[in-house]
Amino acid sequence: MIRVVLPPHLRTLARVDGEVALELEGPATLGSVLDALEARYPVLRGTIRDHVTHRRRAFLRFFACEEDLSHEPPETPLPPAVAAGKEPFLVVGAMAGGSGASGVAPPRGRRRRAGLRRVLGAVVAIGTGLAAGSAWAAWTSAMRQASGEVPPPQAE
């Protein structure tokens, strides 16, 4: 059994509370967990990765046991603790505020907050070399730079 933590908006879309539990047939890989997630919740197709290319959406990241799997190929095995259901697989939306961007609220709950703090630290470190705990502005900037994409302007 694989535990998956989704961003709040995707939990709402999939009409689930809390973590998602998935049973996988075969090896637990990055691709197989996403396949199983989309098979169980077809409404999530296209919201995490592209329908056709299966490319990860630019403002989402994948983490497991504090490892950033966002840029790994789909056949990448998940850590044993995730495959065993001891730790969750995290689908994380970038934190962002201002400039018309629709921010993603942090997950609720002590455990998820702790997990998210670890993820934030990891991503900021990856994105900019800054230490965890930097200002939100630096985080936002880091995510945008790391993703290589900025949401399109809503300039009208």
Residues that bind other proteins (CB under 8 A): 7, 9-10, 13, 43, 45-48, 51-52, 57, 59-60, 93-94, 100-102, 104-105, 151-156
CB of 11 to other proteins, least distance (A): 11
For other proteins, the closer of residues 65 and 101 by Cβ is 101
Nearest to 94 by CA among 54, 127, 129: 127
For other proteins, the closer of residues 28 and 44 by Cβ is 44
CB of 102 to other proteins, least distance (A): 6
- Rounded to whole angstroms, the Cα distance separating 89 from 148 reads 24
Rounded to the nearest 10 degrees, the angle between the axes of helix 110-128 and helix 136-147 is: 60
Buried-exposed string 105-143: b where 16+ CB fall within 10 A, e elsewhere: ebbeeeebeebbeebbbbbbeebbeeeeebeeeebbbbb
CB of 10 to other proteins, least distance (A): 6
Specify the residue for token string 């629709």.
Answer: 102
CB of 43 to other proteins, least distance (A): 5
For other proteins, the closer of residues 28 and 33 by Cβ is 33
